[in-house]
Chains A and B, each alone.
Chain A
Amino acid sequence: MPKIDVQRFLPLKTQWFHIMLALAGQEHHGYGIMQEVLERTAGKVRLWPATLYGSLKRLIEADLIEESDERPAPELDDARRRYYRLTALGRRVLDAECDRLQELVRAIRVKQAMVTK
């Protein structure tokens, strides 16, 4: 399979970025992703349910995330929920996006310093 160019996914849509960021550390189900994003951003970013599942569908179609077949410990498992994780491509895309954003942040810092001076 030819290597897919990660650049064509960049910049990532906001909700895609948040979903992928939520999946960076661990696998989550949809509701879990929603909660994770909400907590991480201190309630500032809310993924509304329909948008969330629509985005999940498209992320799967774009081969950035996949359904996980590993289930968590049975006592924590909710059988009705599907769990998602990043694919290899998804990890590369997220990595590239983070680099891009860091680059941006660096530029912003320099400019900000010039302004405040």
Chain B
Amino acid sequence: MNFAWRIYRRLAEAFPHEFKLVYGTEMVQSGEDVVEEIAKRHGIAGLIRLVADIAIRLPVEYLSEMRRDLAYAARALMKSPGFALVGILSLGLGMGVTTSVFSTQWAQMFRGLPAVTDPQELAMPQSPVSYYYVEQYRAQKNLFAGVAAFQNGIPFNVAFQGNENAKPVRVFGQLVSPDYFSVLGVKPQRGRVFSAAVDKPGDAPVVVITDRFWRNRLDSSPDALGQTLRLNGQMATIVGITPKDFRGALPAVLAELFVPVTVPAALAPELANDVLYKRDAKVFQAMMRLAPGVTFESAEAGLDTITRHLEDQDISNPERAARGRRVTLLAGGVMVPIPRALKPVVVGFFAVLVGLLLTIACMNLANMLLARGAARRKELAIRLAVGASRFRLIRQMMSEGILLAMLGGTAGLALAYWLALLRSQLKLPQALPEEFDYSLDWRALVFTFALAIICGIGFSLAPALQATRADVAPSLKEGAAIQLRGYRRFGMRNLLVVSQVAGSLMLLLIAGFLVMGFSKTNNIQTRFDANTMYLLAIDPVRDGYSPEKAQALFEKLPGRLRTIGSVGSVALAAQPPFSIAGVTVQLNAVKDSRDASRVLQSVIKETVGAGYFAALNEPMLAGRQFEERDERTTSDGSKTLPLPVVLDESAARGLFGKADAIGQRITEDKQSYQVIGVVRDLKNGLPDETAQSGSVYLPLTRRDFASPPAGGITIMVRSDAGADALRAVRSEIASIDPNLAIFDVRTLAGYLELSRSFMRLALDTYGGIGVFGLVLAAIGLAGVTAYAVARRRKEIGIRVALGAHKAQVLRLVLREGVALVAVGTVLGFLGAIAMVKILSALTSIFVEAFNVATNDPRLLLGAPLLLAALAMLACYIPARRSAKIDPLQALREE
């Protein structure tokens, strides 16, 4: 009984202050009065009931108090709508951006593949391997429960049954090993998926389609199963439909259908040249499911050993002697597998950027609440004096902060949703369609509101504590204008202002570095009106052409197109000009065995046809450009005859210095080339993410015609005749073969616009973040200065009464602001430089952008000056009010 009574009393003490004030003693006393009787009459059960009753009422009372607090807070906010609006907007922007980043980061890196069983058990090597290796990996039953091979982003020209006249459409899919679906653990929604037991080489071709393909292209036809499709001109039977959400492994590249590697090479040119049996044909991605109990690390170590062993057997392998890790494993079951080493950097970068933003937003609010708390000091003092507890007042002010944060969080969520919508409408200028799930998930929702609550508590606690620390008596006596501890040199508010200025300068500088760096490296200049060049793509091999027939077509096509009256120049290329889908290679300069050969890393490789540079109006700086005869050079087999190549200035300088590059020999991998020409550096659309060193142009050859890249072969046509020329070109191609699929038709200007739109979004985001930080800091400073003016009203009144000039008063007020801004600027500048150094050291992604921009005086001087100017303006406007203070009125106030 005593025990129950003790608990009862303890619980009674924990009730909210207001409740205790009125009912506390009586509740305790009543409990004391009845406890004995209850024990007598009901025994233990009664005592338990007594304690349970009070335990249940405790949270109920708190909730009701909180509701009252919130109602009071809502009224208080409505009374000062300006304060509320600025608070909600700034917090909303901060949280919106944060949630948006959180959602996409989450979506890209941490979200598991949809419709896949236990995605966390999946792993994939970072670099592609050969099919032979996959088979060897598969044999390691102690490490892997299964290993599948696949190629993604494979284009298929698909013609539908019963619609013979319609042109084939280009659909992207994956080429997969028969065990692909069993490794991923995916069950079909209809029909069957592939399996190693059923699908054998030599079988009639089959295809598994996605739900999306079924819905969009077959109108969800109930008898889709068993229907045949013409894939790249060959018949294939639909045997199954994947589950609704399934989008394959590496879903960043859209896949609509899955074709087994057991089909003949005529259906999938990617399978030509016996790639399934060549151990050095490293064109497959491996996807492995770890055996039960095998950790990621041990799988990686085991895989490394096997790979090392396999490579040691292969005498011709140049990497045989290489040291260090051969294999890096990535988490395979996520949307975008990224190396584990890179993950903290990418996440960290965004965390820093977003964290700064959020910190500034919170500090701003803390500052505003602080000033507000000071202004309400008298109200608080009265409430303290008549018996409100300090805790009660703090809770009150905190609930105001929480309410503000919740409203801000809601606004932020709306913003994040809008950003996600914006992002999903963005088209990327790549040959492969990409698809991301940019929708917000419920975790983002929880995150925002958790953040809102933390911010609300965080930024209202400090001001609330300070506001209630005041001594009651002087507050009452002197009213709102009382002198407090705010004059301390390192008061909390000053600290806040300094860090706010520093933080926003850091944000501005980092964002500025990125913006300037990116925009500088993305400055494509054509020597002609980009609207007069049309780009079209065709892929005859996937329309059922044999390699020989395809080559014959490409040989006669430019000539046929030039016969059209309005067409100026025509050229072919394996990628659109200024493409961002560049492949980088390593080039070696072959010297006459005198000095060590020079090596140039990360050279962008583009494959272009005859007359390419002429079509782009680019004169050759030296040598000649490609001619039609270069396209007939066979690249494989005859190693005696080197392929001609064209270098750009950077690559030529990098390889041969000041010497003449023409006629020099270079090698890439095992292939040797001879330089026939040099052109000026043509920027490609890629932001210089990698430290690239120039470009090398290879001629289009038979091999490219036989298996064109995913974007097909691009036909570039120059004409001033506008859309008429395009129509003429289309009908000319149709007159050669009406069944040829023509896709990706656009002007060069349109293509460049597309590639810029991607960059522009990034620039707008970073720029927006920087500007937003600046505005926030200015608001914060203005608030603080206004508060300082209000606080020193009496002092200023006395000074003016004693004959101080307006300018003197202004200087007095501004002096404090200037000092804070100066300290903040210096700290922010140093912080930004340190951050750039750290980020550059951690990853190469930003190096180029930072390198370009960190030396730019416009930014180095401009950003601090801009910030300081804005900050001073923010100080000046409220400070001006100080000069208007009427001394009589100010002094009379007491």
Binding site for B on A (CB under 8 A): 29-31, 34, 43, 48-54, 56-57, 80-82
Contact = CB atoms under 8 A, between A and B. Distances in A.
A30 B53 CA distance: 16
B29 interface: yes
Contacts of B60: 54
Contacts of B25: 80
A52 to B, nearest CB: 7
A71 B19 CA distance: 23
A31 B23 CA distance: 12
Contacts of A49: 27, 30-31, 34, 50, 53-54
A50 B7 CA distance: 13
B57 A30 contact: no
Interface in B59-97: 60-61
Nearest to B32: A49
Contacts of B26: 29-31, 53, 80-82
Contacts of B29: 31, 80
A57 B49 contact: no
- Select the residue from A34, A49, A56, A82 with max chain B CB neighbours within 10 A: A49
A56 B54 CA distance: 14
Contacts of B53: 48-51
The DSSP consensus for interface residues of chain A is helix
A73 B723 CA distance: 106
A52 B30 contact: yes
Contact of B30 (A31, A43, A54): A31
B23 A53 contact: yes
A107 B594 CA distance: 117
Interface string B772-816: 000000000000000000000000000000000000000000000
A57 B30 contact: no
26 contacts: A30-B26, A31-B30, A34-B30, A34-B34, A43-B41, A48-B54, A49-B30, A49-B31, A49-B34, A50-B11, A50-B12, A50-B27, A50-B57, A50-B58, A51-B57, A52-B30, A53-B27, A53-B30, A54-B60, A54-B61, A56-B23, A57-B23, A80-B25, A81-B26, A82-B22, A82-B26
A80 B26 CA distance: 7
- Select the residue from B26, B57, B60 with max chain A CB neighbours within 10 A: B26
Contacts of B31: 49
A81 B29 CA distance: 10
Contacts of A82: 22, 26
B33 interface: yes
The DSSP consensus for interface residues of chain B is helix
A31 B19 CA distance: 17
Nearest to B53: A48
Contacts of A30: 23, 26-27, 30
Contacts, number: 53
Nearest to B18: A57
Interface string B377-411: 00000000000000000000000000000000000
Interface string B29-53: 1110110000001000000011001
Contact of A31 (B33, B56, B58): B33
Nearest to B61: A54
A31 B26 CA distance: 8
A54 B33 contact: no
Contacts of B50: 48-49
Contacts of A43: 41
Nearest to A48: B53
A57 B27 contact: no
A43 B11 CA distance: 26
A56 B25 CA distance: 14
A50 B34 CA distance: 12
Give me the 4 closest cross-chain CB pairs, A-B, nearest first.
A48-B53, A50-B54, A50-B57, A53-B23
Contacts of A34: 30, 34
Nearest to B57: A50
Contacts of B33: 31
Nearest to B15: A50
Contacts of A51: 53, 57
A13 to B, nearest CB: 13
A48 B49 contact: yes
A1 B177 CA distance: 82
A30 B33 CA distance: 12
A35 B53 CA distance: 17
Contacts of B41: 43
Given A31-B29, A43-B41, A50-B27, A57 B22 contact: yes
A56 B22 CA distance: 11
A29 B31 CA distance: 14
Contacts of A54: 57, 60-61
Interface in B270-310: none
B56 to A, nearest CB: 8
A76 to B, nearest CB: 16
Contacts of A81: 26
A44 to B, nearest CB: 12
A54 B11 CA distance: 14
A54 B15 CA distance: 11
Contacts of B61: 54
A81 B23 CA distance: 9
- Select the residue from A50, A53, A80 with max chain B CB neighbours within 10 A: A50
A59 to B, nearest CB: 12
Contacts of B11: 50
B602 to A, nearest CB: 73
Contacts of B23: 30, 53, 56-57
Given A34-B34, A54-B57, 8 more contacts: A31-B29, A31-B34, A49-B54, A50-B56, A50-B57, A52-B30, A53-B23, A53-B26
Contacts of A31: 26, 29-30, 33-34
B530 to A, nearest CB: 72
B6 to A, nearest CB: 15
A48 B11 CA distance: 14
Contacts of A48: 49-50, 53-54
Contacts of A52: 30
Nearest to B56: A50
Contacts of B34: 31, 34, 49
- Select the residue from A29, A43, A54, A56 with max chain B CB neighbours within 10 A: A54
- Select the residue from B25, B34, B49, B61 with max chain A CB neighbours within 10 A: B34
Nearest to A81: B26
Contacts of A57: 19, 22-23
Nearest to A60: B22
A82 B41 CA distance: 27
B46 to A, nearest CB: 9
A60 B22 CA distance: 12
A113 B29 CA distance: 47
Nearest to A52: B30
A53 B58 CA distance: 11
A43 B27 CA distance: 20
A80 B679 CA distance: 100
Nearest to B25: A80
A18 to B, nearest CB: 15
